[in-house]
Amino acid sequence: MVRIKAFENHGSNVCICLDDGRKYWLKKTDLADSCLAVNDEMDTEDFCQFVRIHQYPRALNQAVAMLARRPCSKGEITARLQRSKYTSEVVDLVIYKLEKEKLLNDREFCEQWVQYRLGRKYGPAFIHRELKTKGIPEDMIVSALEDRDETDELMNAVSLAKKAWARAKPDSDLYKSRQKVIASLVRKGYSWEMAKEACSTAETDM
């Protein structure tokens, strides 16, 4: 059994505080016809079902809206729904539904993200860090990055290096200018070795 200790109002939302310390967030309209009151006791499963019935449709709509704007990873959607105060059970149900309907696929997302970022001339280390923050598993990231064309990668690095050289002041110290060009490429996710090669190639072509 669970007992309601208090209701905390937060704008259009209400937090149901239980006597065991757990808190559940719903809309005030969800409680309009429920007749729930402080000190009421309910069967635990009945209470969880009550929360689930009201949270799940909103959580699913929020996730679908995210995917309508752009592709998302499972980690991104999970994090957003958790910040929106949905229960872990509801979050899991939404993720299951999206994956079952083939609206959510981390492997496809990872491969698409790699191609998109490579096309924007980002290096593999930068892309790797981005995908880790999005909750993509390490093996998926490594697999997606293995398929990249290193010749194209070098060409992208050289293109960025040329732009960096163009920003260098004509009277600046040559060694410092080289270091700045290399550092800019490393920040973009290229290895130190490739950054040095691209810097040298771009400098020769200037």
Q: Is 120 helix (H, G, I), strand (E, B) or coil?
A: coil
Are 175 and 198 in a shared domain?
A: yes
The average confidence (pLDDT) of the chain is 93
Residue 73 has pLDDT above 90, yes or no: yes
**CA separation, residue 186 to residues 76, 160, 199 (Å):** 26, 11, 11
Q: What is the pLDDT of residues 106-141, one digit of tens each?
A: 999 999 999 999 999 999 999 999 999 999 999 999
Q: Which domain holds residue 135?
A: 106-146
Distance CA 144, CA 121 (A): 16
Contact 110, 144 (CB under 8 A): yes
Are 95 and 46 in a shared domain?
A: yes
Please give the average per-residue pLDDT across 16-43, as a whole number.
Answer: 89
- Domain tally, the chain: 3
Distance CA 23, CA 158 (A): 54
Are 113 and 81 in a shared domain?
A: no
Are 7 and 53 in a shared domain?
A: yes
Domain of 121, CATH number, reads 1.10.10
Residues in Cβ contact with 190 at an 8 Å cutoff, skipping those fewer than 6 apart = 123, 124, 125, 153, 157, 198
Are 113 and 77 in a shared domain?
A: no
pLDDT of residue 150: 86
Are 82 and 157 in a shared domain?
A: no
Are 9 and 95 in a shared domain?
A: yes
